[in-house]
Amino acid sequence: MSPDAPADEHGVRSPERVVGWSRSHRFATNALIAVTYCLLAGVSFRLREGASTIVPMWAPMGLAMFVLFRGGARCMPGVVIGVVASALLARVELPFAVLHSLGQIFAPWAGAVALRHFVTEPSHLLERSDGALKLLVVAYAAAVPSACVTVAGLALAYQLPPARWLDAAFSSWLGDALGIVVTMLPLLAWASERRQAIVYRRVVEQVLVVTVMLGVLLATFFGVRLLADPMLQLYVILPCVVWIALRFPPRVGWTVFLIAALAAMAGTANGTSPLNEHPIGLQVLVLHGLITLTAATALFIGAAMFEKQAARRALRERESHFRALTLLSADWHWELDADLRYHRLPGELTGVHFGDTEVDGCAPWEIDGEEALTLPWGLLRQTLERHDAFRDFLSRRRDGGRWRYLASSGEPVFNARGEFSGYRGVSRDISAEMQAREALREEEFRLRALVDALPDLIVLMDKHLRWRLANRALLDTRWLKKMAWLGATSEELAAHLPSLADTLKDNHRVALEVARTCKPYFEEQSVVVSDGQTRVFEVSVIPLTDDDGAFNGLVSVRRDVTAQREVMRIQAEHMKEVQTLNDDLEKRVGQRTAALESAIKELEAFSYSVSHDLRAPLRALDGFSRLLVEDYDDLLDEQGREYLARIRRNSQRMGELIDDLLELSRVSRAEVHRSLTNLSETARDVVRELTAEAPQRNVQWVIPEGLWIDADPGLARVVLENLLRNAWKFTALQSQPRIELGQSELEGQAAFFVRDNGAGFDMTYVNRLFSPFQRLHNNREFDGTGIGLAIVQRVIRLHGGHVAALGSPGQGATFSFSFGATRPD
């Protein structure tokens, strides 16, 4: 019955099945109750007439309590009619009839209310292990007021002397209590037990046991002496009761009990009981005790058996439930034995993940091709040997051209003696999830690169207005670079940045307004930055919404328009002056244009002169020197040949110097076109050229992957070529030369370095390194023109970056450089 079932005016909850009674149904039910009550009362009165000194079993009391317990107050009219009708049919005195009827109505009603407080569903009473105790307590307690009212009626109607009041009350109390127990138990059993299929072998057993028990009862209470002491025959009843309670349904047991109780009372009433030689009070007590003991024994054992069967059914249902869940689950269930080896591994796991590899009988770390990801196999083995549980252990293996990933979790298993017997766990194929994660990382990288390439200050906030992403331009600002900004609101950042507190608080106010209205916001802000300057920003705050249109975050974009606003201000202030000086300005522009064109022509003429006029004599000088060496070598002595060799070397060096000067001139006039460039790949191209020039050299190159810069690709190659050639040249005398390209930081910017273990230099002369024609080593040690590092410095300055050198004689040198807006991944 539902706990929400309606309660009657007496506090008794009516079962759900009677809530929908129709009027005709209620009338028929109450009429049947009244008729049955009168019949049982007639039988009880007949017993009293046959043996007036013996208190009978008052069966109607049990019937009344049963119907009120099962049907609630809707059955009360039938009980009342039955009580009144039975009193009238008995033709007793009016005072006794009134008081006796009140007791017979109040007692079962009180007992039904008490039982309802113990169980909400009547059919559950016999299924509880404490049901017998509760029923007996309620029966004896409910019979007390009935017995008292009955004695009062006898005293008023029949002038019962006070000396007999106690005996009469005791007899009435025993009869009412016995009637409740003997009548309610079979009725509850027959009303609540489920129907079962007939098993004929069980039927034969039932007939045999019932025959033995009833035979003993009839023989004992109707004068047949099977043993010398008739009382010993009663002991045969208890084994029969236990047998019936253990082997048969409660319906059979309570039916046999009812027959036995009626036989015992009938024999006692007829004077054929084995105790007929004893006083009537002793006979009643023994009879009452026998029936009560038999009922309690059967009820306790029956409830215990029912609980055991219910537990077995629940266990089978739970096992079936988990088996179904296991079969329907996408996870694979596995077991390890006490030696930490697989056994009972499902075919789905071996076929999908391990392929044709033999797994059964192997430890996880013994499977070929299986790689541990979460932690090494050795640590997992230590975890298993400690008998600790583990969660989400990741492993992978190659499946064709792709990886298959497996996430496993396990718990140790111990037997009933507490001994370790292995592991039991589940594994799940997360290959698709890992691929999705990798795709998401790639997408995030592309998005990050795109956002970082923008010069605007960009912030992404979540729906709680906490910072979740900031681009490189914003992170490179001095006031935010070293702060823990992730997850903080603008208002929280204001507490740590007093100079920007007002601006950040205003930004937080704007964010709150955008979150409330879900509308874009545009304004222009003036901000005093850390160096005391005032910067002007165009602010755009765009809300982000989900599929339902609800606010889910925002993007704040700040563009520095200080220069534009300053230009506009100057233009506004000097508009008149500009108008009056327009002609003069045009004249100056013309003069400067002419001067610039003249300078360009002179520079072009110089370049032409260098490339043609100077190269021609050098080629002639080098060519004739080579002819002298080749044609007149036998006419020259050793000193002459040395002079010619010097002429050739210096002419070639002069040619190299001219080339470097031209390169320096070209670089100085070059325009910078930035793009995302793979510095690692550019360095490898230069290394391949150097290796091709001197394949006999064995140099250890260290070039990491993923060095990206935002710079002009051609000029970036010029920088790397000069620095790597410089390192290549100065490590020529090392037995184990090593050249490394890496990433660092220089003057607050992301930077790179080229490090070698070559000749090095004295830091005293570091300022001369980047000046043209300044060399710290003579040509006898290392050749060169002294212009390469000057070219590097010109390129770096064109990018707005910095270059620095650090070295020590004989210990190598390190050249660090940055491209200003470089964004390494």
| Structural domain includes residue 575 | no
Render pLDDT for 175-217 as a digit per residue (tens, 0 to 9).
777 777 777 767 776 665 444 444 445 555 556 666 666 666 6
Matching residue, tokens 């470097």: 660
Examine the pLDDT at 298 and tell me if it is beyond 80: no
Other CB atoms within 10 A of residue 406 CB: 21
Q: Does 410 share its domain with 456?
A: no
C-alpha to C-alpha distance for 229 and 154, rounded to whole angstroms: 39
What angle, 0 to 180 degrees and rounded to 10, lies between the N-to-C axes of helices 638-668 and 615-631? Answer: 160
Supply the range of the domain harboring residue 640: 582-660
The pLDDT score that the predictor gives to residue 590 is: 78
Q: Does 223 share its domain with 114?
A: no
Mean per-residue pLDDT over the chain, rounded: 75
Q: Does 225 share its domain with 171?
A: no
Q: Which of 135, 167, 142, 143 is nearest to 154 (CA)?
A: 167
| Structural domain includes residue 757 | yes
Q: Which of 259, 260, 258, 252 is nearest to 203 (CA)?
A: 252
The pLDDT score that the predictor gives to residue 704 is: 92
Q: Does 503 share its domain with 469?
A: yes
Q: Does 683 share its domain with 656?
A: no
Render pLDDT for 221-255 as a digit per residue (tens, 0 to 9).
655 555 555 555 565 666 666 666 666 666 666 66
C-alpha to C-alpha distance for 577 and 583, rounded to whole angstroms: 11
Q: Which of 576, 56, 89, 591 is nearest to 291 (CA)?
A: 56
The pLDDT score that the predictor gives to residue 52 is: 40
Examine the pLDDT at 753 and tell me if it is beyond 90: yes
| Residue where a domain stops, chosen among 377, 408, 429 | 429
Percentage with pLDDT > 70 across the chain: 66
C-alpha to C-alpha distance for 676 and 674, rounded to whole angstroms: 7
Other CB atoms within 10 A of residue 92 CB: 18
| Residue where a domain stops, chosen among 660, 694, 717 | 660
pTM (2 d.p.): 0.33
Q: Does 679 share its domain with 809?
A: yes
Mean pLDDT throughout 459-471?
Answer: 86
| Structural domain includes residue 726 | yes
Q: Does 623 share its domain with 652?
A: yes
283's tokens: 């006979």
Q: Does 202 share its domain with 320?
A: yes
| Residues contacting 545, CB < 8 A, separation 6+ | 518, 551, 552
Q: Does 35 share its domain with 163?
A: yes
Q: Which of 18-22, 491-495, 609-613, 813-817 has the lowest mean pLDDT?
A: 18-22
Q: Which of 54, 333, 310 is nearest to 168 (CA)?
A: 54
| Residue where a domain stops, chosen among 398, 429, 460 | 429
Render pLDDT for 565-583 as a digit per residue (tens, 0 to 9).
888 888 788 787 767 777 7
Mean pLDDT throughout 78-101?
Answer: 81
Render pLDDT for 499-509 as a digit per residue (tens, 0 to 9).
777 778 888 88
Q: Does 469 share its domain with 589?
A: no
Q: Does 178 share its domain with 208?
A: no
- Comparing 645 with 317, the larger pLDDT belongs to 317
Q: What is the number of domains present in the chain?
A: 6
